[in-house]
Structure formats: structure tokens, C-alpha cells
Structure 1
Amino acid sequence: MTSEQHASGQYAIVAVASSAGGIQALGALLGALGPDLPVPVLVVQHLDPRHRTLLAEVLTRRTTLGVKLADDQERVKPGTVYLAPPDRHLLVGPEGILTLSNSELVHFVRPSADLLFESVAGAYGSRAIACVLTGTGVDGAMGVDAVKSRGGTVIAEDPETAQFAGMPTAAVGTGAVDFVLRLEEIAAAIRGLVENKRQ
């Protein structure tokens, strides 16, 4: 990262994971983030690998941020949402370079939130925000632990109000979650964090 990027704010990236119920939740979250988010957003949404996904098109209609399926070896840019393609793990390196992988399933899923979060923790450390939304299963729990252990910040959708409580409950159960919020509160929390040192 350049010195300007270090100076421009405490946080440099947001990683979001969702599964069942996630398309609706992502639409609500991304739509509320506003048009000029100063950091990139990486998203793992569990999708059926047998079908071409229209997720980018669906989410583009709900947010003013740029939304696209991630490309291998692409460099992330602020204000853009990068979606893991179906059946590919999404990872990010220290220079903000994305990697797509078809390595083994993790917790029976590919893409895996755990792998995304672990790569974000390794690349960005304390400048990473990880967010777990609605979903079944436990994907993301190991990853939020990694983000927290490197000094990053972790947000989970409130399991009480999430459409599917499995993933947020597993994340909260790690003890690594900093904020447990209703879906409609998460965007404001993220904006508050990423803009905190921009006043």
C-alpha cells in the first residue's frame, strides 16, 4: 500500500459474506452504503455453481456503487463491489490484487467466506472490516477469528433478525465480533468506520 493510502483512512477494505437470504440482504446493505465509498468491497455469496449468475446485474439495480464479478489478477478500486464468481474462491493479496481459485471446497462451499476473510486479514490486518450476513451453516466463523486476531473489525448481522441465523450465529459464537447489528444498521456502521479519519 502507498503512504497516501495509509494516510487516507484507518480502514482500507470491507469483506462481506452471505448465503441463504443473502441476495436481499446484500441489496439492502450495498444500497445504503451510498455512492462514494472510499474503500473496495469484496463479497462472497454462496451461489448455485450450475447456473450463470445474474447477481451483479441484480445488485447494480440496488446500489450506486460499481458492482462486478471479480476477475483473476484484478486490482481492487475504492467504491467498487467485487463478487466471487460461482464455484471460485475469492482471495486478495497485499497490493489489493484479487485471485480466483478452484481449490477444494471449505465447509462444503466454494466460494468460501473463511478463505476470503483469512486473505483479507493477512493482506490488510487492522485495516480490514469483515461482515457476516444471513446464511445457513458456519462459513465465515474461522475467517472472522482471523480478521480479529490481526486487529481488524468484525460486524455480524443480528441472528435474531437475520433471515437465516446460522452464519451470523456461528460468527458471534467465536467471540470475535465487535458489532452485532440489525441489517438496516450495518451500512451506517461501515461508513462511520471507513470515514472516521476523514473528518
Structure 2
Amino acid sequence: MKIVIIGSSTGGPYILEKILAGFPLLKVAIIIVQHLPPTFTRTFRNHIAALTQMEVIIINENLPLTEGKIFIAPAGSHLLLEKNRIFKLDNNEKIHGVRPAVDMTLLSIQKRTEDKIMGIILTGMGRDGANGLYHLHKIGGITIAQDPLTSPIKSMPQAAIETGEIDHILNPEQIREKIISFS
């Protein structure tokens, strides 16, 4: 299965709009872990759904991962993947001051020969995603950080770049093309 995991925080909805606007139906599962207050999850999901031909779903416990869909992490819970196929929600302590933390999602990914994984860190404050992308790269995944020069808030992509385990540093339009060619 082809899986894309995108983590973003402050400025993320605007950058995601640039990436996903007019997005075609792709044979890939896209997981978005956006730092949001719980009251905005449904609004965020509806906004993403209006941009793309792909079905957009807010994740719940034990939901199976399938290609051709965009999955939104629910605010207030860390998102894990069991055997890269089943979503699990975790309400333990915040990581990097946030829940969901994309690091938790990325660190739950296992190396499986039948999977191709891409991890992307977009704009945001702090360092959420850096440890997860480091892990993903070490198990053979493709790692992308948004070019900090195109990020409203630079620290999340910059922290990822500083791990030395980033394959590509791209602007939002290049990220869009990379996801489409990956699928």
C-alpha cells in the first residue's frame, strides 16, 4: 500500500489548500495530522473535502486504512497505525505540547516490504515530526520537509531538515507534484 503522512501546525490549513486544491483521485492513502482545537476538526475536514475528488474521513478507533482516501486525525488524540493498517487513538500526554503529534503517527509506522511510505512535514511551531521523519527515513520511507522559505512558521520543517534525514526540501507546489507522482 502507498501511504502519505502529512504533519502540520500553524499555517498548515493554508499550505494544505495549496497542495490539495483540485487534487485528483489517487491510489494512495493520505493521512493528515494537523494541530487543531477539537471544535475545528469537522470544519477542517469539510474544507479539505471541498478541495479534492478524494473522500475525506475523520479517523475513529479501529478504522481500516484504505487507498483512495484522505484521513484526518481527530483533535485531542494521538493517532497510531497498527501494522500500518488499522488506526488506533491514544489519549496519553501531549508530545511537544500537542495532541495529536505527528511524531506519534510516524513512529508507529513499521517497515513492511509491501508498503511504500512518504512522510511530509509542513509549516508549524516547534519540532513535531522531526523524530518521526528520522525514523521513517531509517526504515526506507521517503521524507519531505516544506522549504522553510515558503513556510509561514519555519520551525517544524527546519527541525526536520536538521535531522539530516530529509530526501527533499520542497515548496507546496513541488510537494503536490511529488505526492501525485508517488501514487
> Is 2:103 the partner of 1:111?
no
Aligned partners of 1:105 and 1:25: how far apart in 2?
24
Structure 1 residue 83, shift from structure 2 partner: 0.7
Q: TM-score, normalised by structure 2?
A: 0.93
Give unmatched runs, 5+ long, in structure 2.
none
Instruction: Find the counterpart in structure 2 of residue 58 from structure 1.
Output: 47
Q: In the superposition, relative to structure 1, how do residues 101 and 158 fare at CA in structure 2: closer, same or farther (>3 Å)?
A: same
Alignment of 1:1-199 (within 5 A): 12-31=2-21, 33-35=23-25, 37-49=26-38, 51-53=39-41, 54-94=43-83, 96-120=85-109, 122=110, 124=112, 127-194=116-183
Could you tell me which amino acid in structure 2 is paired with residue 183 of structure 1? P
RMSD of the TM alignment (CA)?
1.6
For 2:170 and 2:69, how far apart are their aligned partners in 1? 23
Q: Structure 1 residue 137: deviation in Å?
A: 0.8
Shift in alpha-carbon separation, 1:176–1:60, aligned structure 2, 3 A: same
Corresponding residue pairs, total = 181
Richer in strand (by share): 2
How far apart in 1 are the matches of 2:53 and 2:40? Answer: 23
Percent same amino acid among aligned pairs?
Answer: 33
Q: Secondary structure at the match of 2:107?
A: helix
Question: What residue is the counterpart of 1:197 in the other structure?
Answer: none
Where has structure 1 moved over 4 Å in runs of 4 or more?
Answer: 123-126
Q: Is the 8 A contact 1:68 1:83 kept in 2?
A: yes
CA distance in 1, matches of 2:134, 2:5: 14
Distance 1:86 1:179, change over 3 A: same
Give the AA of the match of 2:17: G
1:162-192 per-position Cα deviation (integer Å, ceiling 9, x unaligned): 1111111011110111000011111111222
Cα shift readout 1:30-73 (whole Å, capped 9, x = no counterpart): 225422x1111111000124x25211011111111111110110
